[in-house]
């Protein structure tokens, strides 16, 4: 039998676990290509090699040209390519990731489709943000009210800490430069955070659009998960950048978010939080290459929640 044309896929055993990867890398005004199992970025200053198997999300900004082979390598390595606007503020599209198993996706769809389970997950999300409070008996309206009051309080506290004037969150997605420095920094920090969370969501095989608190947007679940971390990441970084009076707010904010997330601890936490939220029991397993051992096993639905093996002829020879 003739060999399948093209470069062979990267063996699963050589891939880095989602929580152990580099969080994200932003590129602009360069040519992105492939050299063996590395992504290359070339501009007038030279060429940089990037290990694809250890990259979480590659944010492709204005002026980037990416080759087909680079995209093949990113897909095989389980790295998410996200096309973004200038400063990384606008999201346009994302590429395919490694996940082939639908286990978490099925759990997510089941939970979000039933009012009782959806409310339970929403309460758990708010409980992660309010560890000292009991949210088990609150309605979604009460939870939203508490979250709004909490965020406004955080803005005031960081404004007092940094001396940055603050009135309210005010921004135009189509006009990054139209906001004041702290609102620009908040937009850039949130977008960087969304990129990393988006990479984790799709790497786990979940649906970005099936949110529990947010709804109606193709990244509703991304916004749900990212909101768990804004108080510790986006908001303090944005006020620090605004207080520093830097020349390029977008670039400095992205670098600050990158430095805050590096080391893998954030990815590990994000993976565990998503699996905890979608778990229907107390078992939360490690997410690594071994989780894909049955990735290419296709089952058939048999009714009553049962499954049978695919690739088998169940018909009678007499038919």
Check whether residue 76 and residue 138 sit in a common domain: no
Check whether residue 58 and residue 179 sit in a common domain: no
Provide the pLDDT for residue 147: 87
Classify residue 249: in a domain, yes or no: yes
Q: 136 or 5: which carries more pLDDT confidence?
A: 136
Confirm or deny that 106 is annotated as ligand binding. no
Classify residue 30: in a domain, yes or no: yes
Check whether residue 75 and residue 200 sit in a common domain: no
Classify residue 310: in a domain, yes or no: no
Confirm or deny that 227 is annotated as ligand binding. yes
Confirm or deny that 214 is annotated as ligand binding. yes
Q: Report how far residue 76's alpha carbon sits from residue 8's, in angstroms, rounded to the nearest whole number.
A: 9
Residue 239 belongs to domain spanning: 103-278
DSSP calls for the chain: -PPPSSPPPPPGGGSPPGGGSEEEEEE-SSEEEEETTEEEEEETTEEEEEEGGGEEEEEE-TT-EE-HHHHHHHHHTTPEEEEE-GGG-SEEEE---S----HHHHHHHHHHTSHHHHHHHHHHHHHHH-TTS--TT--HHHHHHHHHHHHHHHHHHHHHHHT--------BTTBGGGS-HHHHHHHHHHHHHHHHHHHHHHHTT--TT--SSS-SSTTHHHHHHHTTTTTTTHHHHHHHHHHHT-S-HHHHHHHHHHHHHTTTHHHHHHHHHHHHHH-SSS-----SGGGGTTTT--EEEEETTEEEESS---S-TT-
Check whether residue 154 and residue 268 sit in a common domain: yes
Check whether residue 124 and residue 241 sit in a common domain: yes
Classify residue 76: in a domain, yes or no: yes
pLDDT in tens, 76-87: 777 778 888 876
Binning pLDDT at 50, 70 and 90, where does residue 316 land?
Answer: low
Tell me, what CATH number does 80's domain have? 3.100.10.20
**Among 71-85, 121-135, 286-300, where is mean pLDDT lowest?**
286-300
pLDDT in tens, 43-57: 989 999 988 777 877
pLDDT in tens, 218-241: 899 999 999 999 999 999 999 999
Boundary of a domain, candidates 94, 111, 146: 94
* Whether the predicted pLDDT of 1 surpasses 50: no
* Whether the predicted pLDDT of 11 surpasses 80: no
Mean pLDDT of 126-131: 86
Binning pLDDT at 50, 70 and 90, where does residue 129 land?
Answer: confident
Provide the pLDDT for residue 51: 82
Q: What percent of the chain has pLDDT over 70?
A: 74
Q: Report how far residue 127's alpha carbon sits from residue 199's, in angstroms, rounded to the nearest whole number.
A: 24
* Whether the predicted pLDDT of 151 surpasses 70: yes
Mean pLDDT of 269-277: 91
Check whether residue 118 and residue 61 sit in a common domain: no
User: Chain-wide mean pLDDT for the chain?
Assistant: 80
Binning pLDDT at 50, 70 and 90, where does residue 284 land?
Answer: very low
Cβ neighbours of residue 24 closer than 8 Å, sequence gap 6 or more: 56, 57, 58, 59, 192, 195, 196, 199, 258, 261
Binning pLDDT at 50, 70 and 90, where does residue 301 land?
Answer: low
Binning pLDDT at 50, 70 and 90, where does residue 287 land?
Answer: very low
Provide the pLDDT for residue 292: 34
Q: Report how far residue 249's alpha carbon sits from residue 89's, in angstroms, rounded to the nearest whole number.
A: 12
Boundary of a domain, candidates 64, 94, 124: 94
Provide the pLDDT for residue 186: 92
Binning pLDDT at 50, 70 and 90, where does residue 278 land?
Answer: very high
Provide the pLDDT for residue 303: 65
Q: β-strands 306-309, 38-43: how paired?
A: unpaired
Q: Report how far residue 50's alpha carbon sits from residue 35's, in angstroms, rounded to the nearest whole number.
A: 9
Residue showing tokens 């937009």: 187
Boundary of a domain, candidates 70, 94, 118: 94
- Please give the model's pTM, rounded to 2 decimal places: 0.68
Check whether residue 114 and residue 196 sit in a common domain: yes
Residue showing tokens 């309206």: 141
Tell me, what CATH number does 117's domain have? 1.20.120.920
């Amino acid at each position: 039998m003739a060999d399948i044309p093209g470069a062979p896929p990267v063996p699963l055993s050589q891939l880095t676990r989602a929580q152990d990867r580099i969080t994200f890398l932003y590129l602009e005004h360069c040519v992105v290509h492939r050299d063996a199992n590395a992504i290359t970025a070339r501009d007038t200053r030279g060429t940089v090699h990037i290990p694809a198997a250890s990259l979480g999300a590659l944010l492709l900004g204005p002026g980037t040209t990416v080759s087909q082979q680079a995209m093949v390598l990113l897909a095989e390595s389980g790295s998410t390519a996200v096309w973004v606007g200038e400063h990384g503020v606008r999201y346009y599209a994302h590429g395919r990731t490694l996940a082939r198993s639908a286990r978490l996706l099925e759990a997510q769809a089941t939970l979000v489709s039933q009012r009782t389970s959806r409310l339970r997950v929403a309460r758990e999300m708010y409980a992660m943000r309010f560890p000292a409070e009991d949210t088990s008996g609150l309605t979604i309206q009460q939870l939203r009210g508490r979250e709004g009051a909490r965020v406004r309080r955080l803005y005031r506290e960081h404004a007092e800490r940094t001396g940055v004037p603050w009135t309210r969150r005010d921004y135009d997605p189509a006009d990054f430069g139209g906001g004041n420095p702290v609102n620009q920094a908040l937009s850039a920090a949130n977008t960087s955070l969304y990129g990393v969370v988006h990479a984790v969501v799709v790497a786990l095989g979940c649906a970005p659009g099936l949110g529990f608190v947010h709804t109606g947007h193709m990244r509703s679940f991304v916004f749900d998960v990212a909101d768990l971390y804004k108080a510790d990441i986006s908001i303090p970084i944005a006020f620090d950048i605004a207080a520093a009076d830097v020349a390029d707010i977008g670039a400095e904010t992205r670098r600050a978010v990158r430095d805050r997330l590096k080391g893998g601890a954030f990815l590990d936490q994000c993976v565990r939080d998503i699996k905890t939220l979608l778990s229907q029991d107390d078992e939360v397993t490690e997410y690594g290459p071994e989780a894909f051992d049955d990735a290419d096993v296709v089952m058939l639905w048999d009714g009553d929640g049962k499954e049978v093996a695919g690739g088998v002829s169940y018909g009678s020879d007499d038919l």
